[in-house]
Amino acid sequence: MIIKPMIRSNICINAHPVGCARETERQIAYVKAQKVKRGTKSAKEGGKGPKTVVVLGCSTGYGLASRISAAFEYGADTIGVSFEKEPTEKKGGTPGWYNNAAFDRAAKEAGLKSVTLNADAFSDETRDLVISELKKFDSKVDLIVYSLASPVRTDPKTKVLYRSVIKPEGQPYSGKTMDMMTGKLMESTAEPAAAEEVENTVKVMGGEDWVLWIDALLKAGILAEGCRTVAYSYIGPELSHAIYRNGTIGAAKKDLESTALRLNDRLTAAVGGAAYISENKGLVTRSSAVIPIISLYLSILFKVMKEKGTHEGCIEQMERLFAERLFTGPEGAAGEVPVDIEHRIRIDDREMDPAVQSEVTERMASVTDDNFAELGDLAGYKHDFLAINGFDVEGVDYTKELERMDSIN
């Protein structure tokens, strides 16, 4: 089988097993190089960084990058949870399944304990399973990363299924969007969400499930003294607020942020720990490509930041979050965390730099089909979009026949 990307309406619906594995290995190599550059000591080398880490939503994006940073810079044993479509010999699985397989293989080669559960992270049964696995570890949990990004969630108590939507609130939103395969610009409109849709999106992507996880882990008595938890959010530029920050997703993120304050108090009292929101940089995801204005904004942002030498992908962001925000003490210990006035970690600082935003805003106002190649980074955006699914990855021969779809070799 020769696997080529299948793209429908700016969404890639298949994945390349070998490409996904190589992209995961590229991220691991970056973290290993940063470990040497920073002089970070792993747990086995006497370092005081995290030793046992739980990553909820571990298979792609920021969750995968967080797990890689914890394991391959700090030497942490990890438990990861994600819900993936498993491949068969002839049918492909989701990118996350292949990413997880590549991570587990590399962790085993490095002598690190790695437990990956293909399960619904929103269910109580999965919480019980994670706790059961954690009790087999040699140490208690130092860090819980909450990086779930699912379109649906079933309430574990009522068994009601909720669906999230990406819509503005109050009135329709129109903006330019970009066909990533051609670079052609077009207008896209999103209709406003009904009140029930806002509530459902908060139910799926807000802080309720995060609380259930922390409560369950606390009750099980497996959190280490000083244990921290972090969840991920996004603020972005003013021009995107109507569809994002002030829309349905923004409502869920604001709920997540308020949840962090409550969890911070709870963890401080229980184990001397803390809870944080990390506001991250805007990056290409499997969903961002279909949100009005976001794909165009990101393409122009990438061009500007690359020109300034400040561009970062998921792995660069998460490695910096760990090394320069969460674990800043001696020998990688959990030092003081710099936060803004709302107790948020701002690892989006390079994106939101006034000079960057000023240049992006100017380009957004003047971009057309004729000058987009000059003002934006179509090639970079397209690469990131394809690489998420294992395509356009350096070192992979895409003309080579694959014998099986359930192997990453």
Residue 336 pLDDT: 93
Where is 230: in which H helix or E strand? strand 223-233
To the query of whether residue 244 is one of the catalytic residues in this protein, the response is: yes
Tokens linked to 258? 């308020």
Neighbours of 118 (CB within 10 A): 18
Residue 231 pLDDT: 98
Residue 287 pLDDT: 63
pLDDT digits (tens, 9 = 90+) for 275-305: 999 999 999 876 666 677 888 999 999 999 9
Q: Where are the alpha helices (DSSP H) in 75-169?
A: 95-109, 124-134
Whether the Cβ atoms of residue 346 and residue 279 lie closer than 8 Å to each other: yes
Residue 85 pLDDT: 96
* Active-site hit among 244, 276, 297, 381: 244
Q: What angle do CA 299, 301, 307 make, to 5 degrees?
A: 105
Tokens linked to 201? 């999106």
Residue 406 pLDDT: 95
Residue 376 pLDDT: 94
Residue 177 pLDDT: 82
Neighbours of 313 (CB within 10 A): 19
Residue 15 pLDDT: 97
- Residue bearing tokens 């619906």: 13
Model confidence, pTM = 0.96
Low-confidence spans in the chain with pLDDT less than 50:
none
Neighbours of 158 (CB within 10 A): 8
